[in-house]
Amino acid sequence: MRGKAFSGKTIMVLCLASFLAGSLITSRTWSTSHNKLGELAPDYDHKRRLAEGKAEDIMGEVSKTHKAIQSLEKTISNLEMELTASRMSVGISQQKPQSSNHTLHKVFAVIGINTAFSSRKRRDSVRATWMPTGEKLRKLEREKGIVMKFVIGHSATAGGVLDKALDKEEAEYKDFLRLNHVEEYHQLSTKTRLYFSTAVSIWDADFYVKVDDDVHVNLGMLATTLAQYRAKPRVYIGCMKSGPVLTHKGEKYHEPEYWKFGEDGNNYFRHATGQIYAISKDLATYISINSPILHRFANEDVSLGSWMIGLEVEHVDDLSMCCGTPPDCEWKAQAGNICVASFDWSCSGVCESVEKIKFVHESCGEGDGAIWKADI
């Protein structure tokens, strides 16, 4: 402030010089920084590409690992299925249901007639009406490919009086399929499951039929009906119903697992009534292979229906398989609509079948020669 004052011209020159000097310094600094960035850019791009490549490689490895796990799971599943089938085969071979010869015979249908130790009179009434015996039974298998057997297990005391009586009956008629199963009414679901598994291990059939020993059957109509579905790989044939789920303990068809079917008052899913039904070979094989993990409900017809749920199965609702006894089946026969099977709903079979089944046969039967004329 005390020094000599600068003129305005001098101040202008100094400002201009300062501006030019600053511009020069800034230009050089930017040039240097730009050069350094230019030198760093290739290195950065290289590292970025490496990082991206590593990410892609990691994702590729993850995908390969996932596919390998899926393939391994599928292989394990297949091995479990094969192991189960092998175990079933070994278990069944130890049963020796008919003989020591377990050659798989190719037939059209296996008809298993569910029976019990106390049902000797029922079996005799069936043999006297709609089921061939002796040479005719063997001829039926040879010429028509139809196998018919009474299906039964053994008593709680194997080799006891009941089993010996059955051995004697078997020696006389040779029409039993013996299961490795303890006979008990509350084990019908298990018996049904084992019947299909055993039948599949002995006969290579197009169809496997289950029928109760107090139901009247017209074999010719049954064979003709089944033949219509011979080209179907997975078919489930019967009178389809959807009855109420009985929740009260003490009722005849009480379902202990009623809660699985929803609220009180709900009905079961559609399933064939238990008096008679048929399934194709693929379904019987499925039951045989998966037998250990198939759930069994209290009622065997519900159990079978549950095994069909979730599969690609054609449900055939054939009302000719659940005709009533005379006059119902008689009127239908007179009109040319012969029934496959007849029984009374009130008795879940022919009421007092031992005395009445002969009357049903005479009134609603198709004639003894019908099965030999059936086109199958």
Write out pLDDT tens, residues 200-227.
Answer: 999 999 999 999 999 999 999 999 999 9
In a domain, 35, yes or no: no
What are the start-end ranges of the H helices in the chain?
Answer: 8-93, 120-127, 134-144, 161-173, 188-202, 219-227, 281-290, 300-308, 328-334, 353-364, 370-373
In a domain, 215, yes or no: yes
Which residues does residue 182 pair with via DSSP β-bridges, in sequence order? Answer: 154
pLDDT for residue 225: 97
Check whether 234 has a pLDDT greater than 70: yes
User: Would you tell me how many other CB atoms lie within 10 Å of the CB of residue 165?
Assistant: 13
pLDDT band (50, 70, 90) for residue 272? very high
* Listed range (42-46, 209-213, 295-299) with the worst mean pLDDT: 42-46
Instruction: Say which CATH number the domain at 213 has.
Output: 3.90.550.10
Q: What's at 111, amino acid-wise? A: I
Q: Does 184 have pLDDT greater than 50?
A: yes
Crossing angle of helices 161-173/120-127, nearest 10°?
A: 10
pLDDT band at 249 (very low <50, low <70, confident <90, very high): confident
DSSP 6-32: PPHHHHHHHHHHHHHHHHHHHHHHHHH
Cα–Cα distance, 233 to 226 (Å, whole number): 12
Q: Which of 95-99, 293-297, 319-323 has the lowest mean pLDDT?
A: 95-99
Is 14 within the bounds of a domain?
Answer: no
Instruction: Read off the tokens for 302.
Output: 């519900």
When divided into structural domains, the chain yields a total of 1
User: Is the model more confident about 23 or about 220?
Assistant: 220
Domain for residue 76, yes or no? no
User: Quick check: is 129 in a domain?
Assistant: yes
- What pLDDT score was predicted for residue 64? 75
CA 273 to CA 241: how far, in whole Å?
6
End-to-end CA distance of the chain: 130
Cβ-proximal residues to 365 (8 Å cutoff; 6+ apart), any chain = 129, 130, 216, 218
pLDDT, position 243: 81
pLDDT tens readout for residues 130-155:
999 999 999 999 999 999 999 999 99
- Expressed as residue numbers, the domain containing 298 is 105-373
Q: What is the pLDDT of residue 99?
A: 41
- Look at residue 161 and tell me if it is in a domain: yes
Residue 149 resides in a domain: yes
Q: How many CB atoms lie within 10 A of CB 296?
A: 19
Mean pLDDT of the chain: 83
Q: Which two tokens stand for residue 198?
A: 């055993």
Q: Rg of the chain over CA atoms, in angstroms?
A: 40
